[in-house]
Amino acid sequence: MTRPENDETRENLLTNRVAILAAAKLDGRQSFVNELQVPQDIALAPMTNRPELLRAAPARDRSAEEVRVLHGALPGLLESSAALREHAARVSGLAGNWRQLMKGRQSVGAQIERFVAFDHGGAAEDEEEVL
DSSP string across 94-109: HHHHHHHHHHHHHHHH
pLDDT tens, 17-68?
666 555 556 666 667 767 778 888 888 888 888 889 989 988 899 999 999 9
The pTM score is 0.56
Q: How far is CA 106 from the centre of its chain?
A: 25
| pLDDT for the residue 102 | 84
CA gap 82, 77 in Å, rounded = 9
CB 33 within 8 A of CB 25: yes
| pLDDT for the residue 107 | 84
CA gap 104, 126 in Å, rounded = 10
129 backbone dihedrals φ, ψ, rounded to 5°: -75, 130
